[in-house]
Chains A and B, each alone.
Chain A
């Protein structure tokens, strides 16, 4: 039942083609053309309301374009498929059933795709620093614990596409420290990871490419790791608006 994590890396390609989104008369995403590939962690950076979360929603088919398209491995979201077949998504707040424990909640979700068995789910909970045998109901969890459980739900099925909107929200230092190896493991496996983070330092530490977004438009892509790294410029705030 558990998804086999083999040596063969998965290949995922997410292509935005002239993606434009209006809500009413407000331009939310402006002619986004972007190609994201597996085995990378892309960090979205921008001010509040710049369109980061909307871009993430667009990436997993939660919203539809006014014009343009999103294509995942040659299949158009909203036309060929309604959502990516294998995706782990945490956008805004994690949402679970308040009267169930963390383990029960994740088992409920895991039962839908049958890609994670009990031991895998327990392992995912341990990896985010929670106790799978904790008998407290979700409603009794602290904000940080809720966030950790949300992250565990994203990783438990080892999805090909991982989307994390502000995953470090409400997390303490130890939580952020736990997140990094998880992301790196999934990247090594070949997953495509798209994340946003309000803290530049955390984003720099987690992502290997940063996408700057302003007023719904991509203004720059910056390599933060490897030979072409422009991280120094980015961190010192030399990029537009930072």
Chain B
């Protein structure tokens, strides 16, 4: 298992798509830092005088890509299902079409190959979503102070958001937990959702778009329901939690388990019993 997983990860890191998506992430960072409405658009002096709405001094906690509501933030988290799937979600399909899958399954048990593939796809999705956010977080620290946010002013996440108490007491812990337990896991889950479409779709681009399509359909369906969960579906990876009033931690858990469970069952079960012609 270790050898094939190592090979799969080597393929992830040597794929053009992986670096392309990280490049897109870098563009988001540049836009967020230096764009027209970026955090460094005004001089630091002016910004520090004005503060946030004239109340609190600017700090990392109001300016980080994950915590500053704005165009970059909205686009990044809306496109996350697509960004997560681009690097490696279509690799299972490509392996079948090229015949490379045959090379692998003749040398390792089928189940091992599918497990290694699933794990590599999961990690690829998690990495490409998390790394730009982490990089932006570090860069924000180069330009802005990190005063502890105050809940009383209500300038950042709302107080009934998941983990808000943690945010206002230990903001670093909140950010790292959100990055690694929400963004990383959902990034991986979206990539694996794309992988599960390997046996459903006949086009690698469609496979890469599959998680985004699924999310769009879910949003549409939820919009028809009386319970307004669609903002959560779009923004669940957003540490700012703009949907916070309507969800709890169980929403994250159910959503995550559903994505991982379905994609795991579909990809491994169908793969295990599928005949190999190419």
A35 at the interface (CB under 8 A from B): no
B46 partner residues in chain A, CB cutoff 8 A: none
B43 within 8 A of A: no
Give min CB distance, A37 to chain B, whole Å. 21
Q: Are B98 and A62 interface neighbours, CB within 8 A? A: no
Q: Does B103 contact A (CB under 8 A)?
A: yes
A83 to B105, CA, bound (A): 8
Contact of B276 among A63, A99, A114 (CB under 8 A): A63
In the complex the two chains form, is B277's CB within 8 Å of A112's CB?
A: no
A60 touches B106 (CB 8 A): yes
Count of A-B contacts with CB under 8 A? 58
Most buried by B among A91, A112, A113, A114: A112
A60 and B275 alpha carbons, distance in the complex (Å): 11
Give bound CA distance, A113 to B106, whole Å.
10
* Whole-angstrom CA separation of A138 from B10 in the bound complex: 17
Binds A, one of B22-30, B107-115, B185-193, B226-234: B107-115
B100 touching A112 by the CB < 8 A rule? no
A102 shortest CB reach to chain B, Å: 14
Q: Does B36 have its Cβ within 8 Å of any Cβ on chain A?
A: no
Tell me if A64 is interfacial: C-beta within 8 Å of chain B: yes
Instruction: Find chain A residues with CB under 8 A from B102 CB.
Output: 62, 89, 91, 95
Which residues of B have CB within 8 Å of A235?
none
Q: Which residue of A lies closest to B112 (CB)?
A: A112
Check B106–A83 contact: CB distance below 8 A: yes
Q: How distant is the Cα of A169 from the Cα of B277 in the complex, in angstroms? A: 19
Interface SS majority for chain A: loop
Interface residue? B119 (CB, 8 A): no
A108 to B7, Cβ gap below 8 A? yes
Docked CA distance A111–B99 (Å): 19
Whole-angstrom CA separation of A2 from B174 in the bound complex: 51
Interface residues in B, total, Cβ within 8 A:
24
Residues of B within 8 A of A126 (CB): none
B7 with A64: CB separation less than 8 A = no
Taking CB atoms, residues of chain A closer than 8 Å to B14 are 99
Instruction: Check B99 against A95 for contact (C-beta < 8 Å).
Output: yes
Residue A109 at the B interface, CB < 8 A?
yes
B110:A62 contact, CB within 8 angstroms: no
A97 close to B (CB within 8 Å): yes
Contacts of B104 in A (CB 8 A): 112
B276 touches A57 (CB 8 A): yes
Question: Separation in Å of the B53 CB from the closest CB of chain A?
Answer: 51
B107 touches A109 (CB 8 A): yes
- Give min CB distance, B195 to chain A, whole Å: 18
Chain B CB within 8 A of A14 CB:
no
| Binary B-proximity of A216-228 (CB < 8 A = 1, otherwise 0) | 0000000000000
Cβ of B109: which chain A residues have Cβ within 8 Å of it?
82-83
For residues 156 through 206 of chain A, which have their beta carbon under 8 Å from a beta carbon of chain B?
none
Add 5 more A-B contacts to A82-B105, A112-B107 (CB < 8 A).
Answer: A63-B275, A83-B109, A95-B98, A108-B10, A153-B103
9 pairs, A vs B, C-beta closer than 8 Å: A82-B105, A82-B109, A95-B99, A96-B100, A96-B103, A97-B11, A97-B100, A109-B107, A112-B3
